[in-house]
Amino acid sequence: MTQKIRVGAVQAEPAWIDLQGGVDKTIQLIQQASRDGVNVLGFPEVWIPGYPWIIWTRSVVESTELMHDYMANSMSRTSPEMARICAAVKEAGIFVVLGYSERDGASLYIAQSFISTEGKIVHHRRKVKPTHVERSIWGDGQADSLKSVVDTPFGKVGGLNCWEHLQPLLRYYEYCQGVQVHVASWPPMFPLPDPKELKWPYHETAEASLRASQFLAIEGQSFVILSTQVITEGNLEKLNLLGVKVIQAPGGGFSMIFGPDGKQLCEPWPAGKEGIMQTDIDLRDIDYAKALIDTVGHYSRPDLLSLLVNPKAAQTYQLMDS
C-alpha cells in the first residue's frame, strides 16, 4: 500500500439535469485529476445530474415537471453511461468515489460508487436515510449500504453523503471499518441568510456542513475529502430557483481537505470557484492522531457501550422453499 498519496476534492457545477453532459464533465475531471497526479478523487452528492434544490424551495406541484426530467436523467449503476465513467477511471489509474442519483427500475437512490484503478465498481452504497423532503424523491439504502469503507492501493477509503455525517452510529461503524481517507459528498450549501429576510436553520448552511465533515476527521482520525457542487446565476432559471433567498449564485461550494486531527490542509476557495482542490498526504500521519484518541480502540469501552449492526439487506420479496 502506498503511504504518500495525493487526494482531490471536486468543487464544480454539475451539468444540470443532463445525464450525457454530466458523464462528459465527470470524465473531464477524472482526466484532469490523472494529469495532476491525484490518486483518490471524491465527487459531490448526486453530482449526476446535480442536486435539485427546488425540492426545498418550491411546492410539489411547482416541482413536478423538473423532477420528471430529473428522474429521466438519473443514472443506472449498470448502464452505458457508467461504463464510460469506469473506462475513464481505468485509463486514469486513479480511485474514484462517485456520487450520483441512481435509477434502479422506477426508483431513485442517493448513491456512491467506489470505482477501482481497474475501472471496477468494488463497492456501491446508497444514503441510508434521505433527509427530510429528499424522501419524496429518493428511497432508503438497505443494510448493505452500512459498509462504507474499501481497501485500495491508497489506503482504506470510505464515504458518506451529506447529513449521513450527522448520524453518530453510522460514523462510528465507519470508524470500525478502519477508514483512513474519507470522502464527504455534499450538495451545494450556502451562508446563513439575513434573518430579517428568511428564517433558516444554521445546521443547513455551508459552514455547518463543513464543520460536520471536519468533526468526522477529528472523531475518526481520518483524512477527509470534502466535495461540493457549485451553482451559477445562468442556471437558476433552469432549476426554478430565481428569487430564492437562500440561494447565492455563483456559490454553493465549500470544499476542503482535512487532516486526521481536523486541520484544514488547503486554503479555502471562493464559493463559486470550479476545479479540483488537491493536496499531498502521508497516511502514516494518522498515527499522530490515533496515539491520542482511537475511538474504536484504546479510547473505547466496549464492555460498557457497543454498536449492534444488522448487515443483512432487506428484500422486497423472497421465494418460499417448495
* Distance separating alpha carbons of residues 231 and 148, to the nearest angstrom: 28
* Distance separating alpha carbons of residues 14 and 188, to the nearest angstrom: 10
So what's the pLDDT on residue 283?
98
Residue pair 52/137 in contact (Cβ under 8 Å)? The answer is yes
Among residues 42, 52, 154, which one has the least CA distance to residue 98? 42
* Distance separating alpha carbons of residues 278 and 239, to the nearest angstrom: 30
43: CB partners within 8 A, 6+ apart = 10, 26, 29, 96, 97, 98, 99, 100, 183, 185, 227
In this structure, the number of other CB atoms found within 10 A of the CB of residue 236 comes to 16
Q: Tell me the backbone φ, ψ of residue 54, rounded to 5 degrees.
A: -55, -30
Q: What is the DSSP string of 206-226?
A: HHHHHHHHHHHHHHHT-EEEE
So what's the pLDDT on residue 322?
53
Residue pair 203/63 in contact (Cβ under 8 Å)? The answer is no
Among residues 68, 99, 66, 107, which one has the least CA distance to residue 82? 99
Q: Look at residue 277 and give its three-state secondary structure.
A: strand
DSSP-derived secondary structure letter, 284 = G
So what's the pLDDT on residue 124?
98
CA distances from 20 to 26, 27, 197, 238 (A): 10, 11, 38, 17
* Distance separating alpha carbons of residues 264 and 232, to the nearest angstrom: 26
Q: Given the DSSP bridges, would you call strands 107-115 and 149-152 parallel, antiparallel or unpaired? A: unpaired
So what's the pLDDT on residue 15?
98
Each residue's pLDDT tens digit in the chain (322 positions)? 789 999 999 999 999 999 999 999 999 999 999 999 999 999 999 999 999 999 999 998 999 999 999 999 999 999 999 999 999 999 999 999 999 999 999 999 999 999 999 999 999 999 999 999 999 999 999 999 999 999 999 999 999 999 999 999 999 999 999 999 999 999 999 999 988 888 999 999 999 999 999 999 999 999 999 999 999 999 999 999 999 999 999 999 999 999 999 999 999 999 999 999 999 999 999 999 999 999 999 999 999 999 999 988 888 777 777 5
User: What cell does 208 get?
Assistant: 455547518
At what angle are helices 206-220 and 168-176 packed, to 10 degrees? 40
User: What cell does 237 get?
Assistant: 432559471
Among residues 188, 193, 189, which one has the least CA distance to residue 245? 193
Prior bond of 49 cis (ω within 30°): yes
Q: Give the catalytic positions in this structure.
A: 45, 127, 162
Residue pair 202/208 in contact (Cβ under 8 Å)? The answer is yes
Residue pair 225/163 in contact (Cβ under 8 Å)? The answer is no
